Structure 1
Amino acid sequence: MCGRFTLTGIFDELIIRYGIEYALDPFHDPRYNVAPMQMIAAVIHDGERNRLGQLRWGLVPSWAKDESMASRMINARSETLLERPSFRNLVSRKRCLIPADSFYEWKTINGKKQPIRFMLEDESIFSMAGLYDSWICPKSGEKISTCTIITTSPNELVADVHDRMPVILRKEDEQKWINGHNTDTAQLLSLLVPFSEAEMKCHTVSPIVGNVRNDGPECIEKVILN
């Protein structure tokens, strides 16, 4: 699964990275420990251009009676997207990119859960494949836009730690994924594969990552185990 990630760059870096022509007032500050049910940066395509905004991490389908399922819908398995009512209709019409520059997974080492940070070899921003939807609260009428991160089988680097990893799209495939004019389901699903381990690296970090209240640069610092 993918349950924590980072996006340590500044807002202007996102604007440049995703070719955003217009954006709301800067809403993003460097994040070192992003957790489910928080607001996160996301990129969608409105039919003409890329748009950068915020979605809440934890999908609430438009047809849901309440928000109770959100915390259980932070990830969507790529292999079963078309089998799940919550996801299958979104594949064809509500796809997004979720920017990140690393993600965390935990491995038991010497009897303790040890967080490990995975990133690209050059530590640059990458895009996780996501789906999004909007839900309207029956009582208040409030509109809430939420998302889920798609996962796939792990590459060899991640497999030593976890049996799933987020789908990291190659740069050349990002527009194919979010362009709403692309309705080729087979092509879309073919993009949801493990990213090459040859282009990734990882290192151990402090256990403080386990507490969502810790969200500073110390979360990503490399820790040498004794």
Structure 2
Amino acid sequence: MCGRLNIIDDMFVQALMEDLRINNSEEMLFSRFKMPTNDISIVREYNGERFLQTASWWLLQQTTYDGFKPSQFTSFNTRYDKLNQPNSAGYVAFRESRCIVIAKGFGETEKSASSTVYHDFVAENAAIAFGGLFREWHHPRTGESCLSCSIITNPPHPDLVPFHSKASPMILPPDELIIDAWLNPNNQQVDMFDELLKPALRHDFEVQQIDKPSLHNPIGQPSKLTPNDFLAGQ
């Protein structure tokens, strides 16, 4: 799920950064096409301040002689049902280092025995606040530090199943109390986030089938996805 991100610079992305009270919004890494292992911007809170930091979109990193590289274990997404398993990669991060990934849209891929189909989703009159996790890594030889991150995935959303049948992204609601609790690194009462671990798309989307994510050539006409759940748009 959510194997690519659309992080363009538009008025809704800028408005979301302002709503989140980010102090260094000029450092946002913009790109129409971000894929796993790319560097992306995450929103985190430290000492009561919110700011953007650059993180590798692959939560698990492996130490090399002079740096880090993505682990062999796929970790650009973290499944909702792994968050409360003590030995999982996201267990500690879910309690101590939650973040937000801001985007204008995302991409989904649906594979079958005979084909692979790609769709892009762009939020209409909105920007998306994905619920994410991050980890900090320190190199034992060089002293280098780096951040990595993942986006949490929930069960499939009924309206997303035709495009991707396995999962849906965690999209946070524009609720100041929830956002404050999510970004607070001292808040380890994760049971308060149980409702967030249910599928909810929260925005209307323009949906476009494309040939390949790297080329982004449209196939047919775009359609509109209006989520059929009471949380949409809230």
TM-score interval, normalised by the smaller of the two chains: 0.7 to 0.9
Aligned residue number for residue 186 of structure 1: 191
Give the unaligned 5+ runs of structure 2.
222-234
Deviation at 1:131, TM superposition (A): 0.7
Matched, 1:3 2:6: no
Q: TM-score, normalised by structure 2?
A: 0.78
- Does the 8 Å CA contact 2:42/2:102 hold for their aligned counterparts? yes
- The higher relative CO (CA closer than 8 Å, separation ≥ 6) is in 1
Q: Aligned letter for 1:132?
A: F
CA distance in 2, matches of 1:194, 1:38: 26
Q: Superposition pairs for residues 1-226 of structure 1, below 5 Å?
A: 1-9=1-9, 12-13=14-15, 15-20=17-22, 22-23=23-24, 26-29=27-30, 31-60=31-60, 67-69=69-71, 72-83=74-85, 84-107=87-110, 111-120=114-123, 122-162=124-164, 163-172=166-175, 173-196=178-201, 199-209=203-213, 211=214, 214=215, 219=216, 223-224=219-220
Higher helix share: 1
Aligned amino acid, residue 205 of structure 2 = K
Judge conservation of contact 1:127–1:169 (CA < 8 Å) in 2.
yes
CA distance 1:41–1:17, shift in 2 (3 Å): farther
What is the identity, as a one-letter code, of the residue corresponding to 1:203? V
In structure 1, stretches of 5+ residues that fail to align are none
RMSD: 2.7
Q: Is the 8 A contact 1:44 1:50 kept in 2?
A: yes
Quickly say closer, same or farther: Cα 1:128–1:25, change in 2 above 3 A: closer
Matched positions, count? 211
The structure-2 alpha-carbon separation of the partners of 1:102 and 1:24, relative to structure 1 and needing over 3 Å to count, comes to: closer
